[in-house]
Amino acid sequence: MIKISIVKAEDNYLEAVVQGETYTLFAPLIEYLLKRPDVEYAMYDVDHPLTQNVRFRIKTKGRPPLDVIKEAVNEILRDVEELEKGFLGSP
Quote the domain boundaries for residue 57.
3-88
Separation CA 12–CA 21 (nearest Å): 24
If pLDDT is split at 50, 70 and 90, which confidence band does 91 have? low
Task: Assess whether pLDDT exceeds 60 at residue 88.
Answer: yes
* CATH number for position 56: 3.30.1360.10
Which of the 8 DSSP states describes residue 47?
Answer: S
How many domains in the chain? 1
pTM listed for this prediction: 0.87
| Averaged pLDDT for residues 65-89 | 94
**Residue-level pLDDT at 90:** 57
3-state secondary structure 49-77: CCCCEEEEEEEECCCCHHHHHHHHHHHHH
| Averaged pLDDT for residues 23-47 | 95
